[in-house]
Amino acid sequence: MRIDVVTLFPELVDHAARFGVTGRALERGLWQLATWNPRDFATDSYRTVDDRPYGGGPGMVMLAEPLSRAVAAARAAQRDAGYATTRTIHLSPSGAPLTHRRVAELAAAPAAAYVLVAGRYEGIDERFVAREVDEEIAIGDFVVSGGELPALMLIDAIVRQRPGVLNDTESAVQDSFVAGLLDCPHYTRPERYEGDAVPEVLLSGHHDDIRRWRLMQSLGRTRERRPALLEGRALTKEESALLAAYGREAQEQQQ
Ligand code: 9D3
């Protein structure tokens, strides 16, 4: 897998991607990263990349031409590296909200190459989007200052789904959302922290009790915090029973 990012802040993307799981995977050659600065593709002596919006209004809009030339350079480099197909994704507040399903699809293509376009200012000239962009993705219903952090989030989510990136203990298979439920609570040493004990069952050594307790916590938390996740999911007999037990325990704790 190869990912090329078009950004006015290439150092931000390059630096951040070298930490943690994505950084280790880069070192191991499990994916490749390159960044392209549209400023390097500007044609005037001021290296202009933005201008005022037609029709007026606040802020600036990124010029189509430097972006287009940067994307062309990224695609050419991908082709030279042996990638036959590529997809161009614009990180945009107006894009489709990112989901685990979409991440898994983007990660599944065996020899995929992506060009991610991260914008700054108020946005980018729509003619660039219409001509060059295959897909627009948002990371949530909140505003951040540019597409770089969203691009890094997309990269991180894709790379951790790639074969061989996570070790067994990190395995993405059991991740929250994958199973359609929120994660259970976690505990480590000490057994008593400022008077707060670890739940008994986790010290019991009864693996099936522990599995049931964790599943019950996941179900209960999902109902409390993200009820819509449960509505889109059928419960097994065991799950229904555990969810009812979670409700009873919560009531007992109130008394
Ligand atoms: C009032 C118009 N604003 C749109 C909500 C202008 C605007 C604000 C922030 C335009 C671009 C940005 C920068 N944000 C992104 O590039 C971005 C983003 C986001 O802000 N939220 C969620 N997902 C994303 S993906 C890229």
Q: What is the pLDDT of residues 54-85, one digit of tens each?
A: 999 999 999 999 999 999 999 999 999 999 99
Q: Which residues line ligand 1 (CB under 6 A)?
A: 91-93, 119, 122-123, 138-140, 142-147, 150
Q: For residue 169, name the pLDDT band (cuts at 50, 70, 90).
A: confident
User: Residue 197: which residues within 8 A CB-CB, separation 6 or more?
Assistant: 191
Q: Report which protein residue has its CA nearest ligand 1's atom 14.
A: 146
Q: Which of 83, 213, 107 is CA-nearest to residue 156?
A: 107
Say what the pLDDT of residue 183 is: 96
**Closest atom, ligand 1, to C-alpha of 119:** 16
User: What confidence tier does 110 reach under pLDDT thresholds 50, 70, 90?
Assistant: confident
Which active-site residues does the annotation give? 93, 122, 160, 175
What is the whole-number distance in angstroms between the Cα of residue 88 and the centre of ligand 1? 18
Residues above pLDDT 70, as percent of the chain: 97
Q: How far apart are CA 219 and CA 163, in angstroms?
A: 29
pLDDT digits (tens, 9 = 90+) for 3-38: 999 999 999 999 999 999 999 999 999 999 999 999
Specify the pLDDT at position 141.
98
CA of 180 relative to ligand 1 center, distance in Å = 28
Report, as an integer, the average pLDDT of 36-61.
Answer: 98
Q: State the closest ligand 1 atom to the C-alpha of 145, by its place in the atom list counted from 1.
A: 13
Q: Which residue has the higher pLDDT, 172 or 193?
A: 193
Beta strands 61-62 and 50-51 are antiparallel
Q: Whose CA is nearest to atom 1 of ligand 1?
A: 122
Predicted confidence band of residue 232 (pLDDT cuts 50, 70, 90) = confident
Radius of gyration of the CA atoms of the chain, in A: 23
pLDDT at 98: 98
CB-CB contact of 165 with 30 (8 Å): yes
What pLDDT sits at residue 116? 99
Predicted local confidence at residue 171, as pLDDT:
77
The pLDDT, as a whole number, for residue 176 is 56
Q: Share the mean pLDDT of the chain.
A: 96
pLDDT by residue (tens digit) across 111-153? 999 999 999 999 999 999 999 999 999 999 999 999 999 999 9
What's the CA-to-centroid distance between 191 and ligand 1, angstroms? 45
**pTM of the predicted protein model:** 0.96
Mean predicted confidence (pLDDT) in 37-61: 98
Q: Which atom of ligand 1 is nearest to the CA of 143?
A: 20
pLDDT of residue 177: 63
Burial class (CB in 10 A: 0-12, 13-18, 19+), 24: middle
Closest approach atom of ligand 1 to CA 138: 23
d(CA 247, CA 66): 58
Segments in 201-236 forming alpha helices (H): 207-225, 227-231
For ligand 1, mutation pick of 67, 143, 153, 155 (most atoms within 8 Å of CB): 143
At residue 138, what are phi and psi to the nearest 5 degrees? Answer: -110, 155
Q: What local confidence, expressed as pLDDT, does residue 173 receive?
A: 61
Is pLDDT above 90 for 168? no
- How remote is the CA of residue 209 from the centroid of ligand 1, in Å? 46
Residues 214/179, Cβ–Cβ less than 8 Å: no
**Stretch 177-192: mean pLDDT:** 91
Given this model, what pLDDT does residue 179 score?
79
At residue 72's C-alpha, the angle toward residues 144 and 11, to 5°, is 45
Q: Where are the alpha helices (DSSP H) in 109-206?
A: 126-132, 148-159
Question: Residue 251 has what pLDDT?
Answer: 84
pLDDT(172) > 60: no
Residue 61: which H helix or E strand, with range? strand 61-62
User: Residue with the nearest Cα to atom 4 of ligand 1?
Assistant: 93
Q: Whose CA is nearest to atom 23 of ligand 1?
A: 138
Q: Which strands make up the sheet holding 135-138, listed edge to edge?
A: 32-36, 2-6, 113-118, 87-97, 135-138
Gap from CA of 34 to ligand 1 centroid (Å): 23
